[in-house]
Amino acid sequence: MSVQALTQIEVAEAQVPVAPSYLNRELSWIEFNRRVFGEALNRANPLLERVKFLAIFASNFDEFFMIRVSGILQQISAGVQKQSPDGLTPTEQLKAARKALLPLMEQERELLLNDLLPSLSEQGIHLLNMADLSNAQRIWVAEFFHQQIFPVLTPLAFDSSRPFPFISNLSLNLAVMIHDPQKGELFARVKVPEVLPRLIPLPPDLCEGPNGHAIGRRHCFVWIEQVIAAHLDMLFPGMEVVMSAPFRVTRNADMEIEEDEADDLLSSIEQGVRQRRFGEVVRITVDKAMPERISNLLLTNLKIGPRDLYTVRGPLGIADLMALLKIDRPDLKDPPHMPTLPSVLRGGGDIFDTIRQGDVLLHHPYHSFSPVIDFIQAAADDPHVLAIKQTLYRVGSNSPIVKALIHAREQGKQVTAVVELKARFDEENNIIWAKTMERTGVHVVYGLLGLKVHAKLAMVVRQEQDGIRCYVHMGTGNYNASTARVYTDLGLFTCRPDIAADVVDLFNFLTAYSRQSTYRSLLVAPITLRQRLMDMIRREIQRQREHGDGQIIFKMNALVDHQFIDLLYEASQAGVQIDLIVRGMCSLRPGVPGLSERIQVRSIIGSFLEHSRIYYFANGGTPVLYLGSADIMDRNLDRRVEELYPLEDPALVAFVRDKLLGTYLNDNVRAHILQPDGTYIRLIPDNGPRVDSQIPEKMIPA
The residues carrying an active-site annotation are 454
CB of 660 within 8 A of CB of 651? no
Mapped onto helix, strand or coil, the DSSP state of residue 102 is helix
| CB-count burial class (<10 Å; 0-12, 13-18, 19+) for 466 | exposed
Which DSSP state fits 67? Answer: I
Q: How far apart are CA 294 and CA 245, in angstroms?
A: 9
SS percent in the chain: helix, strand, coil, step 5: 40, 25, 35
Which DSSP state fits 133? Answer: -
Which DSSP state fits 578? Answer: E
| CB-count burial class (<10 Å; 0-12, 13-18, 19+) for 186 | middle
The string of DSSP codes covering 278-301 is GSPEEEEEEETTS-HHHHHHHHHH
- Cβ–Cβ contacts within 10 Å for residue 335, how many? 7
Q: How far apart are CA 54 and CA 560, in angstroms?
A: 26
Q: State the virtual CA torsion across 499, 505, 510, 512 in degrees, nearest 10.
A: 160
Q: Which of 486, 455, 489 is nearest to 472 (CA)?
A: 455
Q: Which of 620, 612, 600, 602 is nearest to 656 (CA)?
A: 612
Q: How far apart are CA 471 and CA 463, in angstroms?
A: 11
Longest distance between any two alpha carbons in the chain, whole Å: 90
Side chain identity, residue 475: G
Q: Spell out the residues 6+ positions from residue 489 whose beta carbon is closer than 8 angstroms to its own.
A: 363, 364, 475, 476, 477, 611, 612
CB of 509 within 8 A of CB of 523? no
Q: Spell out the residues 6+ positions from residue 447 whose beta carbon is closer than 8 angstroms to its own.
A: 265, 418, 419, 420, 421, 422, 453, 510, 641
CB of 31 within 8 A of CB of 24? no
Pairing of strands 360-364, 599-604: unpaired
Q: Which of 634, 340, 611 is nearest to 478 (CA)?
A: 611
| φ, ψ for residue 328, nearest 5 deg | -80, 80
CB of 603 within 8 A of CB of 680? yes
- Cβ–Cβ contacts within 10 Å for residue 78, how many? 9
| φ, ψ for residue 57, nearest 5 deg | -55, -50
CB of 279 within 8 A of CB of 252? yes
DSSP-H helix ranges across 561-640 = 562-574, 634-638
Mapped onto helix, strand or coil, the DSSP state of residue 178 is strand
Q: Which of 601, 614, 570 is nearest to 672 (CA)?
A: 601
Pairing of strands 452-453, 457-464: unpaired
Q: How far apart are CA 98 and CA 69, in angstroms?
A: 10
